[in-house]
Structure 1
């Protein structure tokens, strides 16, 4: 009998165009050999040009989705993406406190298009989620909104500072784990406008690798390789920030 795939619960919003959100999460998890489940927090109307409408689902419905997944199938890791409201942030924290599996938190505040996806009250709710997460994955503007490296150091949480939004042809990703030396990766920028969903993809890849038993630094390293391959395999859809090519790459955990 084949080994069961690692179970990853994604708590995030839906992207109608399929490039980011739970659509990118499920593509990533599937390509990496995991079993993806979702608790949808919000419905967005968006495409490669931007977000035109966001409607959060009720906290009761989000809670019911989380409970349905955890009470029956269970989870080996949880990935948190767009929440959409402070109430949902606190609800998710309530549901995940005491959970023993790894949690990867992508603090979605600003989409690739520049649309703001979290208000100040929601950002305040992020404090609880960062405290319980195994890893938080802010991009450059999100890290700045969270107080920069000094702010994260004061929280004493593990985080991956993603450098894709920084200027220059050589990008830096920095994994910071309290009490350990930083792990730093440098890579040449892949010049492409097809970057929609990179943050979702990276966080879900890390969660899948953690669910498979990899250590945090190795999970991040392999997730970075997957994202770069997906960037290179982008199908070229849309007139703006197009989606990645998840379907064109695969790397089964443990190979």
Structure 2
């Protein structure tokens, strides 16, 4: 992890910048990030790295705006707004990754969460070899990196972990190499439980590995779960300043969002999670016939 000039100041409503691609159906990317940030008490801002033609059944096309326009977006925000945390998602190519890295070195935000979008759900690699290495080089700029199991393997240039124990070992190796805390996610494995773990080998946590387990939610509507988790972690950490407490809070919220995802009925494929279930539930309770005026 690279030292930064700006210390983290905890805020009740932190200002969170998402740097990511789009999803026109609203389940992933920038759209999911903004929902996650708001649902977890932050003020969301967004810089678009790629315009993605996708829906709940897959990606159809990607348009990457020129990097000079990306930089104009980034500086337009940072010249005016104090950024409490940054969440980074889809970075489409080498030039985009390099530009974001340059901006991070210049702006030095106090908190950075990197979701390394490298492997599609189908298993296809989304970046060429030079871009993959550039993304590896970006990790020391982050406080937390949140790869799924295939992405964790790509970051280490190793085969994908076959079980949770092996995934944790890979998380330790990635943290040792980069100095960054790794959120190892167990969503790709089978079983009734869904574990996640914070891993840091440099003494930045109370223990080298902190595991959190919750029941696995059986739903096909999990589109954008990784985007939503990382954006929520950036937001809650900017409020709490404690990674373990942040993950416990975010995991509880995400369980609710997955448990009620089927209620949305969005799309005919892998639909989105229900980011605002708790808000909708409160609104429904307050408007029920028995509610007080």
TM-score by length of 1: 0.91
Which structure: larger Rg?
2
Instruction: State whether residues 86 and 109 of structure 2, in contact with CA within 8 Å, keep that contact through their aligned partners in structure 1.
Output: no
Instruction: State whether residues 50 and 113 of structure 1, in contact with CA within 8 Å, keep that contact through their aligned partners in structure 2.
Output: no
CA distance 1:156–1:4, change in 2 (3 Å): closer
Q: How many residue pairs are counted as aligned between the two chains?
A: 248
State the Cα RMSD in Å: 1.7
Query: What is the rounded CA distance, in whole Å, between the counterparts of 1:187 and 1:119 in structure 2?
Result: 35
In the TM superposition, residue 115 of structure 1 has moved relative to its aligned partner by 5.1
String of CA shifts for 1:178-201, please: whole Å, max 9, x gaps. Answer: 234210012221110000000010
Instruction: State whether residues 137 and 161 of structure 1, in contact with CA within 8 Å, keep that contact through their aligned partners in structure 2.
Output: yes
Stretches of structure 2 lacking an aligned partner (at least 5 in a row): 1-10, 157-169, 280-293
In the TM superposition, residue 111 of structure 1 has moved relative to its aligned partner by 3.5
Query: What is the rounded CA distance, in whole Å, between the counterparts of 2:49 and 2:80 in structure 1?
Result: 20
In the TM superposition, residue 9 of structure 1 has moved relative to its aligned partner by 0.6
Match of 2:41 in 1: 33
**Structure 1 residue 224 corresponds to structure 2 residue 232:** no
**Structure 1 residue 205 corresponds to structure 2 residue 239:** no
CA distance 1:69–1:18, change in 2 (3 Å): same
**Structure 1 residue 90 corresponds to structure 2 residue 98:** yes
Match of 2:3 in 1: none
Instruction: State whether residues 82 and 117 of structure 1, in contact with CA within 8 Å, keep that contact through their aligned partners in structure 2.
Output: no
Match of 1:167 among 181, 190, 198: 190
Query: What is the rounded CA distance, in whole Å, between the counterparts of 2:225 and 2:174 in structure 1?
Result: 24
In the TM superposition, residue 151 of structure 1 has moved relative to its aligned partner by 4.1
Query: What is the rounded CA distance, in whole Å, between the counterparts of 1:42 and 1:122 in structure 2?
Result: 15
Query: What is the rounded CA distance, in whole Å, between the counterparts of 1:59 and 1:97 in structure 2?
Result: 16
Match of 1:130 in 2: 139
TM-score by length of 2: 0.80
Instruction: State whether residues 34 and 44 of structure 2, in contact with CA within 8 Å, keep that contact through their aligned partners in structure 1.
Output: yes
